[in-house]
Structure formats: C-alpha cells, structure tokens
C-alpha cells in the first residue's frame, strides 16, 4: 500500500469514525454529500476543479461548490474519469447562479466540466448524439445521463451514477 493511500486511509478512517479502507458508499450518509466527502471522492480518482472566485461557498456564483451534491453525481463524474482515462476538471457544481429545476446544479444532479481533447473525443465517440438544443449539442450515455456541449464547457446531468455502463 502506498504512503499516500495509507495517509489518506488513516485520515478518512478517522473522519468516518472507522479504520477500514474508505469507499464511496461508506462515506455517503445518504443521497447527498458534504463538500469534504465529495472532495475526497473526487481527489481519490484524480478529478480536479477550478473556481473563478477561489472558493467553495454554495451561496456565491463565483465559487465551485460540492456541498449537497448527490452521491450518484460524484460517482458519475468519477466513473467518467476512470472509464475515459481523461483528465476531468469540474468548473461548476452546486453553487448559486445556475438555472433552477428538478435536475439542476442546485439540487445536486449537475456538474459542468472543462473541455479538453480527450474528454471531447470520449463523449462524442462513446455516447449517442441526440441533436442540438438551444444550449448546444447533446449526447446521452447508456445510463441515461445527458452531456451537453454548451460551448465553453460540458453541462452534465447525472440521473444515475453510470457505474454499470
């Protein structure tokens, strides 16, 4: 076991109140995660994030927050990262400033990720093109999750974690 994994396991085990190896379901107390829980899960697979305001405050539109994000959304983005092998950078989470609705950022269903050649190629090659919407080109994974190229980023709706295909 690497030193990083041992340190992370010890810290996460202390945080979770257990000494066993950490896993995503064990960290989730319910369908929603805290900023800390989501950050650990994303970091564990190499997902990065950026914030124009360099903050995580859910009430500020210039922040990138994961507070109250759905566990399936975090599992979905980690599945994208591991299945594609691409660098994945989140540029929008649950912070204020996004459109409202049932399957919205604020309700923990959506994240925005940055474009890069690897992610763009993976999404357009692996998922079904549904056509153009008023926001951009839309693709659907077998899981039902929707990926919309909004020009400056991908807007992704995670109805499920997408863990099984």
pLDDT for the residue numbered 28: 39
The DSSP secondary structure of 130-160, one letter per residue, reads: EEE-SSSEEEE-TTS-EEEE-SSSEEEE-SS
What pLDDT score does 2 carry? Answer: 34
Per-residue pLDDT tens for 85-125?
999 999 999 998 889 899 999 999 999 999 999 999 999 99
- Torsion over CA of 9, 109, 130 and 155, rounded to 10 degrees? -80
Contact between 55 and 66 under an 8 Å Cβ cutoff? The reply is no
Average of per-residue pLDDT across 48-72: 94
Whether 136 contacts 149, CB under 8 Å:
yes
Torsion of CA 12, 29, 84, 9, to 10 degrees: 10
Average pLDDT for 40-67: 94
Predicted model pTM: 0.80
Using CA atoms, how far apart are residues 3 and 79, in angstroms rounded to an integer? 24
Residue that has been written with the tokens 């926001």 in this structure? 135
Q: Is 117 exposed, middle or buried (0-12, 13-18, 19+ CB in 10 A)?
A: exposed
pLDDT at residue 96, as a whole number? 86
Mean pLDDT of 16-43: 64
Q: Is the pLDDT of residue 1 over 90?
A: no
């Amino acid at each position: 076991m690497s030193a990083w994994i041992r340190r992370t396991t010890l810290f996460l085990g202390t945080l979770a109140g257990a000494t066993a190896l950490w896993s995503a379901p064990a960290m989730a107390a319910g369908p929603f995660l805290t900023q800390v829980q989501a950050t650990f899960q994303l970091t564990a697979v190499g997902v990065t994030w950026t914030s124009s305001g360099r903050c995580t405050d859910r009430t500020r539109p210039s922040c990138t927050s994961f507070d109250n994000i759905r566990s399936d959304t975090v599992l979905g983005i980690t599945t994208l990262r591991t299945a594609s092998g691409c660098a994945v950078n989140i540029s929008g989470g649950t912070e204020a400033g996004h459109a409202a609705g049932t399957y919205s950022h604020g309700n923990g269903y959506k994240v925005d990720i940055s474009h890069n050649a690897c992610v763009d190629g993976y999404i357009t090659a692996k998922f079904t093109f549904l056509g153009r919407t008023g926001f951009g080109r839309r693709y659907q994974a077998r899981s039902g999750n929707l990926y919309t190229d909004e020009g400056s980023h991908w807007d992704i709706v995670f109805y499920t974690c997408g863990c099984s295909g």
